[in-house]
Amino acid sequence: MITKHQRYNFRKVRSRNKLFERGINRPRLSVFRSAKYIYAQVIDDKKGTTLVSASSMDKELKLKAGKNIEAAKQIGVLLAKRAIEKGVTEVCFDRGGHIYHGRIKSLADGAREGGLKF
């Protein structure tokens, strides 16, 4: 019997391997979504460091609810702003094991609006 968590990990590894197989030499925008919050970070895999991060828990956003689509969009815009300040303009999007819709899609759209290129 395969558990829900094992299926999620399989999807996560499969989508991440596709990014690495293509040999993209850009930082990775990784998204983690929990039931309550959403987190995003831009990671440099060559150095193994996080360049910038943003989440629905940031005090800068002053969100009432951190688990809706509009909050995810604001997080994407904030992440893009922070990344551009660090000199990162192009990233590859890592959705993890989640389907590209809802909060994940909204965060990606917000990052695009903020100026990041995927």
pLDDT tens-digit series, residues 28-37: 999 999 988 9
**Distance between CA 36 and CA 80 in Å, rounded?**
22
What domains, with CATH codes, occur in the chain?
4-114 (3.30.420.100)
Please give the single-letter amino acid code of residue 15.
S
Give the residue-averaged pLDDT of 12-17. Answer: 90
**Distance between CA 15 and CA 95 in Å, rounded?**
8
Distance of CA 26 to the CA centre of its chain: 14
Give the residue-averaged pLDDT of 99-109. Answer: 95
pTM comes to 0.87
